A and B are shown apart, each in its own frame.
Chain A
Amino acid sequence: MSNVLEIAGDVSLFGFRAITSLFSRPLEGDQIRRQIAEVGSKSLLLVIASGFALGAVLTLHTRSTLVTFGATAWIPTVQSLAFFIEIGPLVTGLLVAGRVGSGIGAVLSNMRATEQIDAIESLSIDSFKYLVVPRIIACTLALPVLTLFLDFSGLLGGFLSEYSMSRLSFQSYIASSFASFEWSNFYPPTLKTAVFGFAIGTVSSFLGYTTNEGAQGVGRAATRSVVISSLLIILLDVLLIKFIFFMYPESAL
């Protein structure tokens, strides 16, 4: 238990150091752009495909239940609320933790094992600012955007699934989807993924950057990045939902 608390403390300090480093020069704009492109290119296709498949499957399951009550007209509404409020943010967080978090952990631990981080320091470059901060910023900024991609691809998958059953038009589907929709269903859940992104970037970077296990540590850092980031996202999701309900009581359905 004390070990867990010690790691939690170290990760928190690591994240705090990243936040304070944001305000010091150089700003590492090129590195941030490069990392955002890296996070996006690694995850976008996976996120869109997952969203589409989830949307299609969710509609099939929902339909079989709602048919019993003669409430199939609610399918688009249920679909959009489910995706924008919970499925989109959580699934995107978990997908990115698996795809990007493991990559960050592996890359940084490999750089540590092959003395590339020492080489950066020997060139009088702040390796933390150069390697860690851009990765955390990239994850933080990319997650909300990727979440939107998953949300809308989920709606598209849901529409195509519903269209194949009921021939519902696209305009009607979209209109029904957002009929009961409020901005509080959209902004807070989408923006909470920035916190997920910060957590993924911080945990993965911490595990990669601070490893001292040589080549063996590369695989270990990658695996631990995925496991710890995923658990943290689930925990943060619960806490942030409570927080959103407190801030926006109308969003508590």
Chain B
Amino acid sequence: MIDNGAAAVAFHQVSKSFGAKRVLRDVSFDVHAGEALCILGRSGTGKSVTLKLIISLLKPDNGNIWIEQDEITHLKEADLSRVRRKMGFLFQDAALFDSLTLYENLALPLLRLSDKSQDEVDFVIDRVLKQVGLENDKRKMPSELSGGMRKRAGLARALVLEPKILLADEPSSGLDRITAAEIDELLLKQKAEHKTTLIVVTHDVRGARNVGDRIVVLDRGKLIADGTVGEVEQSENETARNLMSEC
């Protein structure tokens, strides 16, 4: 066992394979509370798997994962549920429940996981939807929303339980540059106003530069660079340097 110190999230020698394919190999990093970490890398390098390991949708083959003081790799479902409530997850395609309206998408976690009254639930939903600029769309079905709106709706659902840690999987994918910048702004605003720890997976170097206090670079399942934007730009690893110059 290791001591994760003051880290909000810590990875220690984590490996993950799917069949014969090794997706992550002995990856270690930590994220401090209130910090914004961007995980950068090309497609298929294990970035999204890293996020799913953090929220325990997947289990690692080896290694330890800490969420604050909890080592989650061997937690039982009830404890895991408690730990997950500290986190919000913005999925790549938002993953809104397509049989529910936007309001119902946000109300579901509030009604299930909090003891708020209906009025309080309505108040929170109105506040969060206003925060992401969708206050006039709460009766719409997900199919009626544009790509950018869906992403903002997914962010609203991730924020509705006021998570301490926000995980975002490719928040700018499939969006034009202006809309992607708007999503980045929302993430930064959340971090500034609520001291939320951000872990953002992306292959968009521009977005990573905007959002990340720190950047880790994954390549073929290995962590090849870890540092500030300037440090990664000066990294000894050529792949990491090349990736950062792609903007």
Contacts and interface: CB of A to CB of B under 8 A. Distances in A.
Contact of B112 (A121, A122, A123): A123
A126 B109 CA distance: 12
Contacts of B77: 126
A125 B108 contact: yes
A122 B89 contact: yes
A180 interface: no
B81 A115 contact: no
Contacts of A114: 93, 95, 98
Given A124-B113, A125-B112, A119 B91 contact: yes
A126 B77 CA distance: 9
Contact of B84 (A107, A116, A124): A124
Contacts of A250: none
A124 B81 CA distance: 5
Interface string B70-88: 0000000100011011011
A118 interface: yes
A119 B84 contact: no
Interface string B182-202: 000000000000000000000
Contacts of A111: 97
Interface in B94-109: 95-99, 108-109
A145 to B, nearest CB: 23
Interface of B: 52, 55, 57, 77, 81-82, 84-85, 87-89, 91-93, 95-99, 108-109, 112-113, 157, 161
The 5 A-B residue pairs whose C-beta atoms are closest, nearest first, are A119-B95, A115-B95, A124-B81, A122-B89, A123-B109
20 contacts: A107-B99, A114-B93, A115-B93, A115-B95, A116-B95, A118-B52, A118-B57, A118-B91, A119-B89, A119-B95, A120-B97, A121-B84, A122-B87, A123-B108, A123-B157, A124-B82, A124-B112, A124-B113, A125-B108, A126-B77
